[in-house]
Amino acid sequence: MNRFVLFAVVVMFFVGTSIAQDSVAQTEPIFQSGNKLYQLCQSKNAFPDGFCLGYVVGIADALTGPKKGYRGRTFCVPVGSIQHQIEDAVKTWLGNNPDKRHINAPDLVAWALSEAFPCR
């Protein structure tokens, strides 16, 4: 049930953001790069930090497993892992790899999780 609620919140945010952006000229996607995700993940404010958690955990929930993954990067989050462990792995990876933060955020999340939680 918790995963469904988290997924619903993330979807509602993207839909709301998409609707709000229709009235404003937009030249780039919300997360064009990992730089924006890193910036949000470093925030001490509740909304950006919560968005970071939801974004990362949403990708992990959707793509974990040896037959899933994203663009060739698979990961297997261990049973019993908590959401903040997953978020911390991505935050640490983004902090340690500033030269790669220009890459799209979903690619970087999958990359970070594939290194932190490889499938065995």
- Give me the CATH topology for the region 2-116: 10k-s Protein, Hypothetical Protein A; Chain A (1.10.890)
Distance CA 12, CA 60 (A): 18
Write down the domain spans for the chain: 2-116
The structure tokens 């970087």 sit at: 108
Q: How many CB atoms lie within 10 A of CB 117?
A: 19
Look at residues 60, 91, 90 and name the one whose alpha carbon lies nearest to residue 75: 60
Look at residues 55, 34, 41, 38 and name the one whose alpha carbon lies nearest to residue 103: 34
Distance CA 99, CA 3 (A): 32
Residue 119 tokens, joined: 């499938």
pLDDT in tens, 47-99: 899 999 999 999 898 888 777 877 888 888 999 999 999 999 999 999 999 99
Q: What was the pLDDT predicted at 9?
A: 45
- pTM greater than the 0.75 cutoff: no
pLDDT in tens, 6-42: 444 444 444 344 434 433 344 445 556 899 999 999 9
